[in-house]
Structure 1
Amino acid sequence: MTAPLRIALIDDEALIRTGFAAIIGAEPDLEVVAQGADGIDAVAIARSGKADVLLMDVRMPTVDGIQATERIVAEMAAPPKILVVTTFDNDDYVWQALRAGADGFLLKRTRVEDLLAAVRLVARTDALLFPEAVRRLAAAAPARKAPKGIGDLSDREREVLVLAARGLSNQEIAAELFLGRETVKTHLSGVYAKLGVRDRTQAVIAAYGRIFLEEARRLLSSADTAPLRARRVAAGTAGTIRIGFTAVSALTVLGRWIAVAAAELPGVDLVLSEMVTHAQLDALLAGEIEVGLVRQVPRSDLLDSRLVARDSLILAAPRDHPLTRLRRTPTMEDIADYDVVTYSPSEAWYFYELVVAAFQQAHLTPRYVQHISQVHTVLSVVNAGLGVALVPSSASAFNLSNLVFLEIADLPPDTVELHGVWRRDHRNPALEALLDSV
């Protein structure tokens, strides 16, 4: 189970803190871990590492919320997310919060469900949440000069900056532009360097310059929908899920997942990447995909998994092969008399070990003639007449002209497993919704 998000409440009015604590404490995925009465408390709480999100009032004694935000962002390499919440619908506060590095700005009169959704959105994504008042700020965009360095941006950097200014997270930008998330981070780093800014927020401010006026106005035309989008993201009915899969799983489980997502989660975008199992595990640990369809899950405190399908090993042989002319179901001993196309011990170790074990248990040593990483490539080689192969029964969906699939008499059924695997610490509500649905 995913750990709850840790929330700190910073407000000089104890009554306000008590009210927020009651609202947030009633949510199973949120936990109030600290409270403070001014910006000094906020800085101390941020430094302690206790909180994932600070709900920060603006007007407080000694050190106000804007000053505290500036200090936290300047001092910490990985500060908590900061959501500025104030009674006052004031353009100056919004602009100052943006410049200070806040991740979002909401009014205290915001509906409870919108407040909770905003907390979850800023915690779980890179997106900035500045609804309502941002529209007014953009109206002044023609009066502001385009910042120095805008002309140096590449076309791709401009695309990334515009999408960031529209409120998309790195993950959503990656899906929109068909890029890896690390590639998006690299482009944003280039944007920061060329604009002479320190972070995403300052870069977004730059996007309101004259050169970006058209795109900025598009951003502001949708600003009022930000709370709705936040609620949908938090509920798992909007967002992006990046899925890794093996070639054969695309014929079975992946197709079912896509159909379920289309029917039950139409607002969720699926970004699909075909990879062998070990590449998926690497991508999961690196945060490049949210969930993988893999053959075997290593023991790891970082990963959670679920068995999603079982297959049997069957024989794939050329249509005119002697094994296809037997008047009975072939055995492992029959197969061992012929050249066997098998799997790479490094790239496809799961199937390699499965096939070797099957022959060893029958006390047989076949002639292995090829070692190949992907099941569909194995089938292509067999189709070309270079040997026979043991493949998962789901591979029989590949319709090749010279290929025949046969059961094997002395192999137990359902020995091939497919697992869905994801990080235990993920914070993607859309992934939770998909896993619940499938």
Structure 2
Amino acid sequence: MIKIQDILFQKLFESSIAEIKRFPIETITFDNALDTFNLWYELEYKYSQLKNKSFKGLLQRKENILNIIKDTALNINDVLADSFIEVFGNWLEFHAILNPKLWAEKRYEEVEDEGFDFESIIKSLFSEYRSYQGGESFQDTFEDIIYDINNFPVFKKLLTVGTIDFYQSDLDNMDEEEFQEQYGYLLKDLNIKTKDEFQELLDSGELPENLILNYVELLTTNDIEYFVESLKNLMNYVYNVTEEDIGIEFYEKLVFPVWYGKWKAEGIDETRQNVEDVYNDLQNINSFPLKKQFALINIATNTAHQSGSIMDYYEERFNVGKSDLDVLTNKDVSEWDKELREIGVIFEEIVKFTVDNKGRNYYRMTSKDLRNLNVNDFKSGDTIVVNEKYIIHLKKEKYKFFSLETSVENYNTYKFIDPAFWPVFINNFIYSDYDIS
């Protein structure tokens, strides 16, 4: 005899089972990724509701339902984690690189792959430098390099060869008197008194900076084409110095510092650290209990969503973009709620009342209700009691930040939080070890 509970149970999971049968989820592909996310959202939602809300009926039956969800969800979490690991790994390799040398090598590789020739690469990187640093001409950029020439060893090596060649050609056509007349003032500080002593200096290949700068003045020009041509000519006389060496050095020593200066102020260090932390956790997802796995997939999704470039990577690889995630996040769950009610889940309304004449409110709700709300739904001074156990005090700070004080010790570190990171905080809070099970 079939029990009515069994019929309701089958109804609850018939959509999930249909999804699984349609494709055994061993890996996410371009074609099945959106279906996988849909299934994940359904499983995560139903698991959370069953876990956190009251239940009328046999507790063993509730546990049986949770175990069936768990068996499916562990598989879905695993394959979703693999997809994020791939995308986050690619992003970390090519974006927000904070090692100057590696950043420069990647940038040079990118422009070279786009078909830029050497002249175009130099023009591009000088233009990028000016966009961050300021300056209106090539000459401004060139002077910034020259005044810091010791920071550009490859370029200095080329200039040294050019300097030696320049002075040597003069020296070959001068007698001692002409030498003293033309170079005496320049060499006085170097304690070089004769043409022969100067020849010894040139032969050593180790020239003082003032001699190089004197030669460089001859290159002073706003003609970048002439500058690039001069570099190419000098490379013919220097062993093992290539166009790539010069391009990478300019990216590393010239562009990276000003690029990093701009993006550091925009929080690039924190962004990369956050992505790295999530990436590392994803690689160990199987070591976490299910509720923390759900939290981690949520955090990975939010992290990708908040970084346009990461989400672009994901959409290109798996055909799921920001708009798809927005639809899933705002999905109407009334049918799921109906199914859950039919098997015994009890839904309670959020309790809210005003506690003083300043309009500050007191809320009592479940953790799931809290996750469905936005930080902007609350005001400074509001108190939120979650699962009849945890307290969050909200205080607005300055213009856009909120100070969060909770009864959970581990979350006292969330001194200030940008409203944009409310979902991440709530996911961590809901799925922490302190959450009720």
> Do both proteins adopt the same fold according to a TM-score greater than 0.5, normalized to the shorter chain?
no
Structure with the larger strand share: 1
**Structure-2-length-normalised TM-score:** 0.21
Larger radius of gyration: 2
Structure with the larger helix share: 2
**Structure-1-length-normalised TM-score:** 0.21
